[in-house]
Amino acid sequence: MGFTPLPGTRAPVRVWTDPYAIEPQAAKQLRNIGALPWVQGVAVMPDVHFGKGATVGSVIAMRQAVSPAAVGVDIGCGMSAVRTSLTAADLPDDLSALRSAIEAAIPVGFAKRDDPVDPRRVRGLEQGGWDAFWTGFGDLDRRVRQLESRARHQLGTLGGGNHFIEVCLEQDGPDAGRVWLMLHSGSRNIGKELAERHIRVAQALPHNTDLPDRDLAVFLTGTPEMDAYRRDLWWAQEYARRNRAVMLAVLCEVVREQLPQVSYDAPISCHHNYVAEETYDGVEVLVTRKGAIRAGAGDLGIIPGSMGTGSYIVRGRGNPAAYCSASHGAGRRMSRAQAKRTYSTEDLERQTAGVECRKDAGVVDEIPGAYKDITEVMAQQEDLVEVVAHLKQVVCVKG
């Protein structure tokens, strides 16, 4: 499937789904984005849905400007995965002990670690750059510097909402039954604190007074406000990457303790709420991916479904019309509040049958029925990515 242009916008807005199926609120947001004078173009992913300021599932290329709301508040949120040497036959019939071991090793929800992570004591974790990374905290927005202790104690923790840790089985081909480990998390509260502060600063700038949506306020290149935002943004993106790296290393060790024969391939990691400097048609742009992954030619990425459906390891095709991007997941089809009104714990048990996971009222808003059909989402972006592996979870840990 190729893209469909969204009519009535100043900048081109290319849509990789049925434009008439996009919820009206989200369609209005896309038109608002396409009207901004700094926007070079917008690519709309098949998992698109309403968000704050900018839609989730949108890729926005801007000339010498960036909108913090077009990045999202969980700066650097993304995915990591690693293929193991194990097969389904190596796993125990009862996976509850494995799930419990993961939950004991990696704090979830609002929890944090009793002691900050010492990278030297985490087997398989990259050792370089940690001192310089934490030194950079002292350069962040002065209003968040008092959160350093919290940021250190939350490093290597999962969070809640749609974040998860999974043990998955490859579904098709010669490696069917191969075990993968996968997780989804971001910059924890520190990215949110930084984002919200910068959004408020942007909204007060004079060039943002007449925008169609004040949440689309931008910073302009060459201004101290832009410099401050980009400094904090890069740090938060790196925090999110290192947060996932710590968790994946700890997760690998948990599995190794239960199944000592395991070995691991090189991990795959990708942001899906971030900014990158890229060039298209000779024009240098700042590309914000809010609920989208980079899918340059040959890039490996991860596109998850919900807690009871499949996920995909993909390789990018490098489609410039989409700014070399693809969707970040299935995408919600109903809000959390609507999901809680619509579904019960009995529905959750039925829709997550065969998965070792929470099945209580606290995660009903994450029920598979609240999300779009991941197989349909994948079919709509065949010109953006090719499937490397189709996975199905057998263990899912959520906060």
Rounded to whole angstroms, the Cα distance separating 272 from 329 reads 10
Long-range contacts at 172-175 (CB < 8 A, ≥ 24 apart): 172/389, 172/390, 173/389, 175/389
398 is in an annotated binding site: yes
Identify the bridge partners of residue 167 per DSSP, sorted by sequence position: 181, 395
Rounded to whole angstroms, the Cα distance separating 7 from 289 reads 22
367 is in an annotated binding site: no
Both tokens of 285, joined, read 């742009």
306 is in an annotated binding site: yes
Q: CB–CB of 309/374 below 8 Å? A: yes
Burial of 16 (0-12, 13-18, 19+ CB in 10 A): buried
Measured CA to CA in angstroms, residue 71 lies from 57, 83, 199, 229, 379 at distances of: 11, 29, 11, 12, 26
For the annotated catalytic residues, the residue numbers are 328
Q: CB–CB of 61/33 below 8 Å? A: no
Both tokens of 333, joined, read 């089809």
162 is in an annotated binding site: yes
3 is in an annotated binding site: no
328 is in an annotated binding site: yes
Q: CB–CB of 302/379 below 8 Å? A: no
CA dihedral 373, 378, 380, 385 (to 10 degrees): 160
Burial of 369 (0-12, 13-18, 19+ CB in 10 A): middle
Q: What share of the chain is helix, strand, coil (3-state, %, to 5)?
A: 35, 25, 35
Q: CB–CB of 140/183 below 8 Å? A: no
311 is in an annotated binding site: yes
What is the maximum span of the chain, computed from C-alpha positions, in angstroms?
63
305 is in an annotated binding site: yes
165 is in an annotated binding site: yes
Q: Which amino acid is at 217?
A: A
Residue among 197, 192, 182 at smallest CA distance from 307: 182
Both tokens of 208, joined, read 């943002």
330 is in an annotated binding site: yes
354 is in an annotated binding site: no
74 is in an annotated binding site: yes
347 is in an annotated binding site: no
322 is in an annotated binding site: no
192 is in an annotated binding site: no
Both tokens of 138, joined, read 């002292």
Measured CA to CA in angstroms, residue 296 lies from 151, 292, 315, 326 at distances of: 32, 12, 8, 9
Binding-site entries for GMP: 162-166, 272-273, 304-307, 311, 328-331, 398
Residues comprising the binding site?
A: 74, 162-166, 184, 272-273, 304-307, 311, 328-331, 398
* Binding region for Mn(2+): 74, 163, 184, 272
